[in-house]
């Protein structure tokens, strides 16, 4: 006996096996991301007042990535529809756009990650003297009157100091920011600080605070899903495409299944973007 | 035009594939022969046949069960005779593990490791793989009349992920500092801040095990939904299949939150995050950002942890149901009630988890909610147990080994379930929380409960797997020994727990004994402390009682009594209507199902059982007036 319903749908369920399988799998994926989203809520609700950071992420980049993924979701359907209409060349074209989108997404995401790993918080001693070069070529020295936090991107580490593109945090102005979209006109300058004045420095990696932790965990897991989905789609696009000749119906089903997964991955991002970037 | 031109080529392709498929049945025997000669590796190790995978799962899980039990036998020495070197295995432990077992004495760290790994191994590497994956793999496709699982290769991947996860867990014993020490529940921040790497191994191992059961669950559910034979409607499914169906959903939906929690704990451990580390926590040699929530781990853990209990018990209920129907020779009482109860349990088990957390200070309102749902979930459990009890009424019972284990399951699970009620109530749980009472309660459910069910299943389906019976005599010896010693182990623990003896103490509570603190109020009495020794002796005797089983299991493969027919127990369900052992592809022709699963002793029929695939059109006797 052979396993039935691998390609043709079963009468009473109306589905072929893999379609049942992928929907069940997606149900479990919902629970996986659901648990992480719930954790996000619990961590945020449990955070001390004012401690949850806002505006750390680049909204235009996140928006671009959202659009990129939505486009890929469309092309993935078009690719499947092309196969249904037996137009293999068109399928190839659409699916290559999908793959391109996946690459753009991962590229932008890596840039954002890199940005966080070079973004530092320096705790600077009271009385330290900072050298400030502003954009207009102006140059002055700033003496701190209290223990302060210098926040910005590390440009260069010299023998005895750090060159940072950033600003000294004003606690009052910081507390007034409660949402990411509140425009913050913070002037960022090239600031040089002596190593001996820095008591502690830490970049915005997952260890920085629970917001960064959940940001890296959620987007990292999502990025793994994007890469995994792209590998499957890429395999079916390239080396696995031979099945179109031997068993076109089954091949079309495979494209449909990988497409369902891809839609799910997009959908997760649709939730991730507002939750992490905007709220 | 393009389509037109392409069609002929496709058509010929299609025809040739069709020819290939219609060709296959004719060569079914040659096909099997081919598999027989395919070499050891493809036949036994990298097999995609659900029966082989089922047996692989079964044997691996039995080995892990035995290993987990050995850990406990060593721990029982430390509890009964704290500080004294373990006889026989003590020197061996020292040789293998080094300083943690200096002079053959089990130190508290080693005790913690063994305790954590005993729980982990028994639950995730022993009982679940045996109950769900082994029996599910071997029996479910046969019972629904399917040729294999829906996704044979995913099935193989599931087993391989399980083995990898198991190996990671085993390897962790030998890394510096040893295996995880924070209990099978791995509560943070304790689990995160212990400096050794055992916990990291545990978490990575768990990710593999969760992946394995996820793949398994998807496969089982798809198989049951899609591959039922013609005529096998939902209400004609044997109850075992229903039990596995609900279990599959529990694994599918409850495990991912633990996977999420495991990822976060892994991040806490290796990436320095603070998901579960609260503000103000100070750990030497580490900067902690804080802001995390220890409660979050507990919620996520028990969101799996509670459905997991039903993952452990439902397959055993299914097995017991099959065996009781078969050996009482009458239909199971209340089949539909069983099915709906199982479904209700499945649903409710997702909203009772925080009854494990009454002591965390999560608030009385939340406690009240979970207390209520916990009481409600006991109703379907009681219905199932009642149905099984009532099924015995008026039956002419055959007391063979599988039936003895099944019969013992009923009161054992009953004790386990009923003793859970005081734990489900907030007010009484405050006293019993984290004591030996809890240990006794859940072991009654899982050890003499589930594991008896699993033993019953092994004795029952062994003839289908091998074509031979296991020895009845040694089976009964095994049963008697297991039954007596299981109770001798767990019954006194209720008393110990109510007297206030806490779990997870390497010295068995010696510090709190009345003898060591004279005059103290609430010290553990001499009798309570004395139970430590009787329990330990009973545990070692239970170990001895498994020897007949182990020998019987392997000896009977070659030397057991041969079965007289493909259906030695005269059963109605489809797995007995195949050749023995079932060939690759299972059935010689697609079975067509005509009736429900338990048509035993139907009046007017010439034999006392009617297989599900027997056609009414050819009644043996024209008896229906």
CATH for B293-502+541-562 is 1.20.210.10
CA distances from A93 to A79, A104, B2 (A): 8, 17, 18
Check if the beta carbon of residue B52 is closer than 8 Å to that of residue B585.
no
**Cis amide bond preceding B189, omega within 30:** yes
**Closest alpha carbon within chain A to B583:** A1
Which residues of chain A neighbour B297 with C-beta distances below 8 Å?
Answer: none
**Which of B1, B289, B298, B579 to mutate: most A Cβ within 10 Å?**
B289
Q: With beta carbons less than 8 A apart as the criterion, state whether B265 and B191 touch.
A: yes
Name the B residues in 153-172 with CB < 8 Å from any A CB. 154
- Do the Cβ atoms of B13 and A36 come within 8 Å? no
Closest CA to B326 of B573, B58, B586, B1: B573
For residue B583, which of B103, B18, B28 has the smallest C-alpha distance?
A: B28
Judge whether residue B158 has pLDDT over 60: yes
Q: Do A3 and B227 touch (CB under 8 A)?
A: yes
Per-residue pLDDT of B52-99, as tens digits, reads 999 999 999 999 999 999 999 999 999 999 999 999 999 999 999 988
Do A82 and A38 belong to one domain? yes
User: Would the pLDDT of B3 be above 70?
Assistant: no
Same domain flag for A224 and A99: yes
Based on the domain organization, do A29 and A55 belong to the same domain?
yes
Q: Is B581 exposed, middle or buried (0-12, 13-18, 19+ CB in 10 A)?
A: middle
Instruction: State which residue of chain B sits closest to A246, comparing Cα positions.
Output: B13
Q: Cα–Cα distance between A92 and A237 in angstroms, integer? A: 7
Q: Are A3 and B150 a contacting pair at CB < 8 A?
A: yes
Nearest CB to A39; choose among B21, B260, B590? B260
Q: Does domain B50-278 have CATH number 3.30.70.270?
A: no
Domain that residue A79 falls in: 23-116+208-278
For residue A208, give the chain B residue with the closest CA.
B289
Give chain A's radius of gyration (CA, Å). Answer: 25
Phi-psi region of B130 (alpha: psi -120 to 50; beta: other; left: phi over 0): alpha
Instruction: Give a yes or no: residue A2 inside a domain.
Output: no
Count of the separate structural domains present in chain A: 2
Only one residue has tokens 């991301």, namely A33
Cβ neighbour number for residue A22 with a 10 Å cutoff? 21
Residues of B with CB below 8 A from A90's CB? none
Distances in whole angstroms, Cα of residue B127 to Cα of each of B59, B271, B282, B453, B455 = 12, 33, 38, 11, 11
For A217, the closest of B254, B264, B299 (CB atoms) is B264
CA–CA separation, B413 vs B381, rounded Å?
Answer: 10
Distance CA(A258)–CA(B138), nearest Å, equals 30
CB–CB contact B292 A43 (8 Å): yes
Number of other residues whose CB lies within 10 A of the CB of residue A92: 16
Residue B451: what pLDDT? Answer: 96
Residues with Cβ within 8 Å of residue B517, at least 6 apart in sequence: B511, B523
- Say yes or no to pLDDT of A2 above 50: yes
Residues contacting A221, CB < 8 A, separation 6+:
A32, A33, A36, B263
Whether A228 and A259 share a structural domain: yes
Residues of B in contact with A221 (CB under 8 A): 263
For an interface test with A, the pick among B17, B48, B292, B307 (most A C-beta atoms closer than 10 Å) comes out as B292
Beta-strand relationship, A189-194 and A139-143: unpaired
Nearest to A39 among B254, B264, B586 (CB): B264
Cross-strand partners of A189 = A166
**H helix or E strand, kind and range, residue A192:** strand A189-194
Chain B positions touching A28 (Cβ under 8 A) are 214, 217-218, 252-253, 255-256
Instruction: Tell me the pTM.
Output: 0.92
Whether the ω angle into residue A229 lies within 30 degrees of 0, i.e. cis, is: no
Q: Which two tokens stand for residue A153?
A: 């991107």
A195 in a structural domain: yes
pLDDT in the model for residue B619: 52
Q: Give the closest-approach CA distance of A187 to chain B in angstroms.
A: 27
| A164-196 per-position pLDDT tens digit | 999 888 877 777 777 766 655 677 889 999 999
Distance CA B139, CA B463 (A): 13
Distances (CA, A) of A260 to A15, A218, A255, B482: 14, 20, 9, 50
Reply yes or no on whether the pLDDT at B33 is more than 80: no
Of B152, B222, B267, the CB nearest to A24: B222
8 Å CB contact of B253 and A31: yes
Same domain, A43 and A104: yes
Residue A128 is classified by DSSP as -
Q: Are residues A93 and A54 in the same domain?
A: yes
What's the CA gap between A7 and B258, in Å, rounded? 34
Mean predicted confidence (pLDDT) in B505-520:
86
Confidence of residue B15 (pLDDT cuts 50, 70, 90): very low
CB nearest to B252's CB, from A17, A24, A245: A24
Q: Tell me the average pLDDT of chain B.
A: 90
Query: The sheet that has A198-203: what strands, in order across it?
Result: A139-143, A129-133, A189-194, A161-168, A148-157, A119-124, A198-203
B50-278 and B293-502+541-562 have identical folds: yes
Contacts of B252 in chain A (CB under 8 A): 24, 27-28, 31
Q: Which residues of A touch B254 (CB under 8 A)?
A: 31
Burial class (CB in 10 A: 0-12, 13-18, 19+), A232: middle
- A217 to chain B: nearest residue by CA? B264
A253 located within any domain: yes
Q: Is A5 near chain B, with CB under 8 Å?
A: yes
Calculate Rg over the CA atoms of chain B: 26
Residues of B401-440 as b/e, b for ≥16 C-beta within 10 angstroms?
Answer: bbbbbbbbbbebbbbbbebbeebbbbeebeebbebbbbbb
Tell me whether residues A24 and B256 touch, CB distance under 8 A: no
Average pLDDT, chain A: 92
B579–chain A Cβ distance below 8 A for any pair: no
Which ranges constitute the DSSP H helices of B27-107?
A: 28-36, 40, 50-80, 89-97
Which residues of chain B lie closer than 8 angstroms to A123, CB-CB? none
Find chain A residues with C-beta within 8 A of B217's C-beta.
24, 28
Does residue A190 sit in helix, strand or coil? strand
Question: Using a CB-CB distance cutoff of 8 angstroms, which residues of chain A are in contact with residue B587?
Answer: 1
Average pLDDT over residues A243-248: 94
Q: Is residue A94 part of a domain?
A: yes
**Cβ pair B289:A216 closer than 8 A:** no
pLDDT, position A182 = 65
Contacts of B613 in chain A (CB under 8 A): none
Q: Examine the fold and report which residue of A160, A175, A203 is the final residue of a domain before the chain moves on.
A: A203
Looking at the structure, tell me whether residues A133 and A155 fall in a common domain.
yes
A214 and A102 in a single domain? The answer is: yes
CB of A47 within 8 Å of a chain B CB? The answer is: yes
From CA B254, how far away is CA B246, in angstroms rounded? 12
How high is the pLDDT of residue A185?
64
A246 touches chain B (CB under 8 A): yes
Chain-chain contact of B218 with A2 (C-beta, under 8 angstroms): no
Residue A181 and residue A229 in one domain? no
A66-83 mean pLDDT:
97
pLDDT over 90 for what percent of chain B?
80
In tens, the pLDDT along A95-128 reads: 999 999 999 999 999 999 999 999 999 999 998 8
A44: Cβ contacts below 8 Å, ≥ 6 apart = A52, A211
**Inter-chain CB proximity B148 and A5 less than 8 Å:** no
In CATH, what number is assigned to the domain containing residue A30? 1.20.120.80
Q: Which residue, of A172, A203, A234, is where some domain finishes?
A: A203
Nearest to B252 among A27, A202, A216 (CB): A27
CA distance B175 to chain A (A): 26
The H-assigned helical ranges of B393-451 are 401-418, 421-424, 426-432, 436-445
Nearest-CA distance B160 → chain A (Å): 19
Neighbours of B307 (CB within 10 A): 27
Q: Is residue B40's pLDDT more than 90?
A: no
Taking the CA of residue B386 and the nearest CA in chain A, the distance in Å comes to: 33
pLDDT tens figures, A32-60: 999 999 999 999 999 988 788 888 899 99
Query: How far is the C-alpha of B387 from the C-alpha of B317, rounded, in Å?
Result: 11
Looking at the fold, whether A90 and A214 belong to one and the same domain comes out as yes
Any bridge partners for residue A139, and if so which? A133
Whether the CB of B150 is below 8 Å from some CB of chain A: the reply is yes
Q: Is the CB of B585 less than 8 angstroms away from the CB of A2?
A: yes
**B102 at the A interface (CB within 8 A)?**
no
Q: Which of residues 55-74 of A touch B (CB under 8 A)?
A: none
* CB < 8 Å to B152, chain A: 3
Strand partners, A167: A151
Residue A11 belongs to a domain:
no
Cβ-Cβ pairs closer than 8 A, A with B, add up to: 154
Q: A268 vs A4, A25, A34, A263, B296, CA distance in Å?
A: 33, 15, 10, 9, 22
Q: Which of A1, A33, A42 sits opposite B293 (nearest CB)?
A: A42
Domain end call among A203, A234, A266: A203
pLDDT band at A204 (very low <50, low <70, confident <90, very high): very high
| A137 pLDDT tier (thresholds 50, 70, 90) | confident
What is the 8-class DSSP label of residue B613? T
What pLDDT does A181 receive? 63
Same domain, A52 and A135: no
Are A124 and A176 in the same domain?
yes
A178 CB neighbour count, 10 Å cutoff: 10
Residues B231-251 have pLDDT tens digits of 999 999 999 999 999 999 999
Phi and psi based region of residue A86 (left: phi greater than 0; alpha: psi -120 to 50; beta: remaining): left
* Binding-face residues of B in 200-219 toward A, CB within 8 A: 214, 217-219
Q: Name the residue in chain A with its Cα closest to that of B220.
A: A21
- Compute how many other C-beta atoms are within 10 angstroms of the C-beta atom of residue B274: 29
Task: Report the distance separating Cα A174 and Cα A152, nearest Å.
Answer: 14
pLDDT range class, residue B390, cuts 50, 70, 90: very high
Domain segments of chain B: what residues?
A: 50-278, 293-502+541-562, 571-625
Structure tokens at B295: 């409660």
Question: How large is the angle between the packed helices A248-272 and A88-118, nearest 10 degrees?
Answer: 30
């Amino acid at each position: 006996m052979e396993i039935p319903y691998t390609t043709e749908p079963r009468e009473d369920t109306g589905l072929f096996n893999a379609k049942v399988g992928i929907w069940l799998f997606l149900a479990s994926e919902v629970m996986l991301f659901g648990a992480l989203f719930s954790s996000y809520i619990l961590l945020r609700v449990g955070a001390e007042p004012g401690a949850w950071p806002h505006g750390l992420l680049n909204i235009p980049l996140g928006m671009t990535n959202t659009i990129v993924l939505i486009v890929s979701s469309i092309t993935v359907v078009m690719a499947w529809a092309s196969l249904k209409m037996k137009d293999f060349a068109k399928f190839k074209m659409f699916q290559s756009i999908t793959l391109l989108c996946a690459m753009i997404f991962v590229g932008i995401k890596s840039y954002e990650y890199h940005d966080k790993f070079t973004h530092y918080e320096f705790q600077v001693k009271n009385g330290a003297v900072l050298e400030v070069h502003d954009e207009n070529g102006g140059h002055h020295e700033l003496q701190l009157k209290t223990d302060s936090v210098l926040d910005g991107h590390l440009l260069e580490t010299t023998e005895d100091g750090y060159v940072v593109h950033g600003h000294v945090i004003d606690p009052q102005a910081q507390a007034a920011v409660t949402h990411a979209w509140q425009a913050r006109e913070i002037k960022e300058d090239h600031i040089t600080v002596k190593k001996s004045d820095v008591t502690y420095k830490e970049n915005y990696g997952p260890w920085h605070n629970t917001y960064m932790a959940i940001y890296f965990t959620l987007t990292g897991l999502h990025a793994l899903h994007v890469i995994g989905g792209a590998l499957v789609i890429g395999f079916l696009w390239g080396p696995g495409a031979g099945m179109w000749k031997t068993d076109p119906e089954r091949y079309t089903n495979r494209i449909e299944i990988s497409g369902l997964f891809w839609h799910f991955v997009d959908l997760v991002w649709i939730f991730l973007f507002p939750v992490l970037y905007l709220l | 035009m393009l389509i037109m031109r392409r069609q002929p080529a496709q058509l010929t392709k299609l025809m040739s594939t069709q020819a290939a498929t219609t060709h296959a049945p004719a060569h079914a025997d040659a096909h099997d022969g081919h598999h027989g000669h395919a070499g050891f590796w493809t036949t036994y190790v990298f097999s995609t046949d659900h029966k082989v995978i089922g047996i692989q799962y079964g044997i691996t899980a039995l080995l892990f069960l035995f290993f987990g039990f050995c850990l406990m036998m060593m721990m029982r020495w430390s509890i009964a005779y704290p500080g004294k070197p373990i006889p026989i295995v003590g020197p061996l432990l020292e040789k293998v593990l080094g300083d943690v077992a200096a002079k053959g004495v089990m130190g508290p760290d080693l005790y913690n490791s063994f305790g954590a790994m005993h729980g982990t191994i028994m639950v995730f590497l022993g009982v679940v793989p045996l109950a769900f994956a082994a029996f599910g793999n071997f029996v479910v496709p046969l019972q629904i009349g399917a040729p294999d699982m829906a996704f044979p290769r995913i099935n193989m991947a599931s087993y391989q992920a399980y083995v990898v996860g198991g190996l990671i867990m085993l390897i962790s014993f030998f890394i510096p500092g040893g295996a995880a020490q924070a209990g099978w529940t791995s509560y943070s921040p304790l689990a995160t801040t212990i400096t050794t790497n055992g916990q990291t191994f545990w978490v990575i191992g768990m990710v593999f095990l969760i992946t394995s059961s996820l793949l398994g669950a998807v496969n089982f559910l798809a198989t049951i939904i899609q591959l039922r034979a013609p005529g096998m409607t939902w209400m004609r499914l044997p109850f075992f299949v229903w039990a596995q169906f609900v279990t599959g959903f529990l694994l599918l939906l409850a495990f991912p939150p633990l996977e999420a929690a495991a990822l976060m704990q892994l991040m806490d451990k290796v990436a320095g995050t603070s998901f579960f580390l609260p503000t103000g926590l100070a750990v030497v040699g580490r900067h902690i950002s804080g802001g995390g929530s220890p409660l979050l781990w507990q919620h996520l853990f028990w969101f799996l942890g509670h459905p997991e209990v039903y993952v452990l018990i439902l397959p055993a209920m299914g097995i017991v149901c099959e065996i009781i129907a078969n050996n009482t020779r009458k239909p199971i009482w209340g089949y539909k009630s069983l099915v709906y109860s199982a479904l209700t349990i499945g649903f409710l088990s997702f909203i009772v988890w925080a009854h494990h957390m009454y002591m965390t200070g999560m608030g009385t309102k939340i406690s009240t909610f979970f207390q209520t749902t916990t009481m409600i979930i006991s109703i379907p459990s009681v219905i199932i147990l009642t149905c099984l009890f009532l099924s015995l009424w008026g039956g002419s019972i055959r007391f063979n080994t599988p039936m003895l284990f099944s019969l013992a399951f009923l009161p054992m699970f009953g004790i386990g379930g009923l003793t859970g009620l005081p734990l489900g109530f907030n007010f009484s749980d405050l006293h019993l929380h984290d004591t030996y009472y809890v240990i006794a309660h859940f072991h009654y459910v899982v050890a003499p409960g589930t594991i008896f069910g699993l033993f019953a299943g092994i004795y029952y389906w062994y003839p289908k797997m091998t074509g031979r019976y296991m020895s009845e005599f040694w089976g009964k010896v095994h049963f008697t020994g297991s039954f007596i010693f299981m109770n001798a182990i767990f019954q006194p623990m209720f008393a110990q727990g109510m007297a206030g003896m806490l779990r997870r103490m390497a010295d068995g509570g010696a510090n709190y004994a009345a003898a060591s603190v004279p005059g103290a109020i609430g010290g553990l009495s001499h009798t309570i402390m004395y139970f430590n020794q009787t329990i330990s002796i009973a545990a070692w005797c239970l170990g001895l009682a498994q020897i007949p089983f182990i020998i019987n299991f392997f000896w009977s493969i070659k030397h057991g009594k041969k079965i007289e027919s493909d259906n030695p127990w005269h059963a109605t369900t489809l797995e007995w209507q195949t050749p023995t052992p079932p060939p690759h592809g299972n059935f010689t022709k697609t079975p067509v199902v005509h009736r429900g699963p338990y048509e035993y002793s139907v009046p007017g029929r010439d034999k006392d059982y009617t297989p599900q695939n027997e056609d009414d059109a050819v009644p043996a006797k024209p008896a229906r007036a």
